[in-house]
Structure 1
Amino acid sequence: MYFPEYRMRRFRRTENLRRMIRETVLTVDQLVYPLFVMPGKGVKNPVRSMPDVYQFSLDQLLEELKSVVQLRIPGIILFGLPHEKNERGSEAHSQNGVVQEAIRAIKDKYPDLVVITDVCLCEYTSHGHCGILRGHEVDNDATLDVLAKVAVSHARAGADIVAPSDMMDGRVGVIRHALDENGFDQVAILAYSAKYCSAFYGPFRDAADSAPQFGDRRSYQMDMANTDEALREVDLDIEEGADMVMVKPALAYLDVIYRVKAEFERPVAAYNVSGEYSMIKAASAQGWLDEKKVMMETLIAIKRAGADLILTYFAKDAAKLLSS
């Protein structure tokens, strides 16, 4: 039998040979750890649909961050569960809000840790939608001023990056203007630019208590069938001042991550969302999958598609494997 002179298997024989020609390399530097903070003291509530994920009171959150810092995970993203909710989500921009207090405490204890904050109203509104309502519709323009207030309140507390996830038209420009006007020109914007209306968010809504009380979010989050539209969304956000853009979810939208990275000269983040996390956890609990191997294969796939940063609930587990 004739064999070609070049055999592809020659560099697959040993782990060190494979390492030498590996095209995609994931490091801990590319991981961001999502965390949920809530009022109270001594609280560490397990999230039923997300094994090993918790809602933390601030004191417990600071304890959790000890291991995050020891693992050299460079950044976290904070989601808040407020003291109370109302129609306008006003606690989202309170200087005494749960996220604002958390930012100050984190920056006092771990000043070098990069703190990213979610800028949205869904966790703070009594109706669970991401903006101000007019009847049963989200009023895009009425929401923009509130989002700007939220972003400024986070910046004032010490956030390094604000991440608007609401998908309102024009919000990046309004937030950029508000930050600059208030002296926070060094605070970066990570825009959830291509955020799809996805069924993969279910467990997150348990963790953040943010499920809409009526209807859904199809009128402002993207249709899962569209990719050209994602490029237009990204382009608009960059024009308005986004420093980094995000595709969310990650696994079902690897093609979108690839297209965004190929098209734009901006750092690209991808969110390995709650449903993606919980599927792996559930299958591994049944013995159907090897959790660690599937976790790493998933994260490498997201990185290979073009993501510069990966927001993932697996951040600590991945960091432990990468360090070993």
Structure 2
Amino acid sequence: MNNIHAAPGARLEQALFEVKRVVVGQDPMVERMLVGLLARGHILVEGVPGVAKTLAVRTIADVFGGTFRRLQFTPDLMPGDIVGTRVWRPSTETFDTELGPIFGNLVLADEINRAPAKVQSALLEAMAEKQVSIGGRTFELPDPFLVLATQNPIETDGVYRLPEAQRDRFLLKIDVSHPTEVEEMAIVRQMGTSQPRAKNLFTPEEVVALQDAATDVFVHHAIEHYAVRLVMATRSPSHYRVPEIAGALEYGVSSRGTLGLVAASRALALLRGRDYVLPVDVADLAPDVLAHRLVLTFDAAAENVDARSLIETVVRTIVPPRLAPHESDAERVSA
């Protein structure tokens, strides 16, 4: 088995290269997906059809190993179709439990916004508690466990808006756009022949070791305070000198958003080859971690105000900390 703790940054760079060998372009999406995996956080990916959302998830599953499950959500889906159900066995006159496809290490919930409320509730328990309840019994989900959900923003028929409680359970929301002209040419050349397949580089145990390494990444208290101020600015905009966003916000980001921002920043730092977090890590991830947690006012929603632009305004306004290198190193050693 490879020594994960020796050089996690180098191994993650190798994994990133292997994913990009299959997925052309969409570098921010791929990077954020790996951040979610390392930070043990679920990911919501939104984009029009045909922008490699499903391909990226499947490729990451190939690279990081474990069991991969794909759930195609439809309006007639039932909770038992996902978590499992009890089945009567006439031969033994007993009920057996048939576990559903949610029991996988990496679960792709395709077009999640097509699922009705009961299915969303069942999925919420799995995402939040990493367990499901079937017939009065509780079943633990495998470790690692990650849900990558996709939704199509242009569909209006047969879709259900995700409730705020479930959106808050996603660590990151990634908005995916069309590729550039250069990337489109590369896609035509690559996909016009035989499509490449990524190699498996990790076992589930190694992925857990990488997640533990991300947890150990050092965060200076000034950077923690920076993350807190970014979140607090969405709750009290005038106090933090962003009064221009106050009229668009009904509720700011929850405390889960603060914890998620710090955890994701740790993962991004590890992915970038560092064992400490920089303010730029926090700033880069703030729109992806915080924007989908905002609750906009009715008027703002009617005017299609972009939640990401509100967070970007906050990031431009809140001044990041400036740490001397020796100060950061000394505190990291003492920690």
TM-score w.r.t. length of structure 2: 0.26
TM-score w.r.t. length of structure 1: 0.27
Larger RCO, structures 1/2 (Cα 8 Å, 6+ apart): 2
More helix by share: 2
